[in-house]
Amino acid sequence: MTKYTKGQDDDFDFDWGDDAGADEPEVTEGEGDQDEVDPNRDPNALPVTWKAGTFNGEDCVKFYAHGETMSYETGKVTKRAVLLARVSERELTMFPLVANPSRSNFLEPKYDELTSITVLPEEGRSWWLPESLRDFEGMLKELPTGFARRAIYGLGLRWEYRLIPEAIRELVGVTHLIIEPGDDARVELPAFMLGAERFTRIRKAIDTITGRASLRSLKARRLAAYNETLHAALPDQFEHRYPPVKAGEIYELVQLRGRASSRSARDGIAAAQVVREDAQKIASEDPSKLFELKAVIEQVTLAQLIGEFEAMLQRNLPEPKWQSFFKANPFILGLAFPYPVILFQDQASVGGTTIRGNGESIVDFLMAQQFTGNLAIVEIKRPSTALVEPKTYRGDLHAPHRDLTASMAQALDQRAVLLHHFAAKKSFDPTLADAHVSSVNCIVIVGSLPKDAAQVRSLDLFRHSSKDVAVVTFDELLAKLKELHRLMSANASAPAAPPAAPEGPNKDLF
């Protein structure tokens, strides 16, 4: 007889002719018997032989799978015996193989680079050396649930659990999976160590997911059949049915926030609709979450508003564009006041019409103190409006630009007209019932702060000397928006101190 010395774990190429008795592995009495051939045998079942041997100085039993494979290089068919399993008292190692002879990778490793799976016995126990294929398959029944029980089908894991080795194979360099007692999961290249308890937990999770998927698939097929038959034929009598959403499904999706980029804009709109419909329930069960959501929405909205404001400042837009912007976002105008205000009326007519119908005075925005009803006038100019004269008047002092003084004069004129005609308007307009004009503030939003320090100083000297009209620049409003966003976004437990108000007669307007 010929002993094979190619390697303990390598396959053997056999020439199985009629006189090939000397080419079989050396066996002792009772060894080397192939699996009994059944006339109705599955054609995908592998012939399996076994023999006793040693590995790393320990007695072991090796099992070989037999079959014919074709070499694509030579075109020759070769009969092979490939190591399928090796059992010693210390470990049971499988070398899972593709058992389908019609596959091009027949008798190749079932899990590609992951060529072997070793199962260690429980602590204090050991494996035994099987004395037959039947004895070996009895040993396979001792393995954790999820392992294949028949050697003739190539061993390894059952089909539904192939995802476990597929996941492990993503780590380059892993060729060996070891199932050991415990609940561990670690890498000791080229081996991946997986605790038997963790393996069982993974298997049960896969079973649960598979069961859910099967049930949902059945329900979806029933819905499709119903909707395309009864509903299609008699829609008035049989309403369209939709699949139910299980409790916690949205929560599970939110936990995938690391993959938020895969959610579409429609998903976001739908989520907002769900929150809007369930807002009252959320407020009663977990109000803190609703407040957190409100804060997030406000921060995002404010950030977008700041971006829009900055983009508009880069363009030379006319006054009507800015009036539309502030009308859509009136709270920005409120940042120019020291008290809470509401937008009472935009493009408000305060009077002054002559008998010929001309001369009417129109205020860009008529604001009202939220708690007292005291009215205020806001006039909007352009960010590009000049604020001081480019040339100095004396020393480094710059006189106010005529466009600025004209804007302030316009606001003062509008206030005078409002005071003169308010009593008459109030008697005819019920919306003015709670309003009064005891102390009408005027604010002009105009221009941008000069870059030159002397010009900024000259502007402050002039505008803070005016007790009746406050001048606020566009970039100052933008800065207040940014500070508001910073305060809203801050994670500090103590609120940040508000920015110091500028000194001057009109400091109460800022």
The Cα 237–Cα 140 span in angstroms is: 58
Predicted confidence (pLDDT) per residue in 19-40, tens digit: 333 333 333 333 444 444 444 5
342, 481: one domain: yes
**Pairing between strand 176-180 and 116-119?**
parallel
Predicted confidence (pLDDT) per residue in 88-100, tens digit: 999 999 999 999 8
Q: Let me know if residue 2 belongs to a domain.
A: no
Which residue, of 205, 220, 236, is where some domain finishes? 205
Q: Let me know if residue 478 belongs to a domain.
A: yes
Q: Let me know if residue 276 belongs to a domain.
A: no
Q: What is the pLDDT of residue 13?
A: 41
- More confident: 510 or 275: 275
Q: What tokens does 241 get?
A: 């049915």
Q: Let me know if residue 474 belongs to a domain.
A: yes
321, 440: one domain: yes
Residues 6+ apart with CB under 8 A from 213: none
Q: Which domain holds residue 324?
A: 316-509
194, 337: one domain: no
Residue 378's DSSP bridge partners are 365, 443
Q: Let me know if residue 294 belongs to a domain.
A: no
Angle CA(364)–CA(369)–CA(375) in degrees, nearest 5?
45
201, 323: one domain: no
Span of 159-168, 274-283, 327-336, 391-400 with lowest mean pLDDT: 274-283
Give percent of the chain above pLDDT 90.
Answer: 54
Q: What is the pLDDT of residue 213?
A: 86
Which residue, of 185, 205, 225, is where some domain finishes? 205
The Cα 295–Cα 196 span in angstroms is: 46
Predicted confidence (pLDDT) per residue in 398-455, tens digit: 999 999 999 999 999 999 999 999 998 888 888 888 999 999 999 999 999 999 999 9
353, 476: one domain: yes
323, 450: one domain: yes
User: What is the Cα 498 distance to its own chain's centre?
Assistant: 35
Greatest CA separation for the chain: 130
Structurally, the chain folds into a number of domains equal to 2
The Cα 510–Cα 234 span in angstroms is: 67
Q: Let me know if residue 261 belongs to a domain.
A: no
Which residue, of 149, 179, 205, is where some domain finishes? 205
Residues 6+ apart with CB under 8 A from 15: 23, 79
Span of 13-17, 187-191, 401-405, 462-466 with lowest mean pLDDT: 13-17
336, 191: one domain: no
Q: Let me know if residue 475 belongs to a domain.
A: yes
The Cα 348–Cα 111 span in angstroms is: 78
- Does the pLDDT of residue 358 top 90, yes or no? no
The Cα 428–Cα 424 span in angstroms is: 7
Q: Let me know if residue 267 belongs to a domain.
A: no
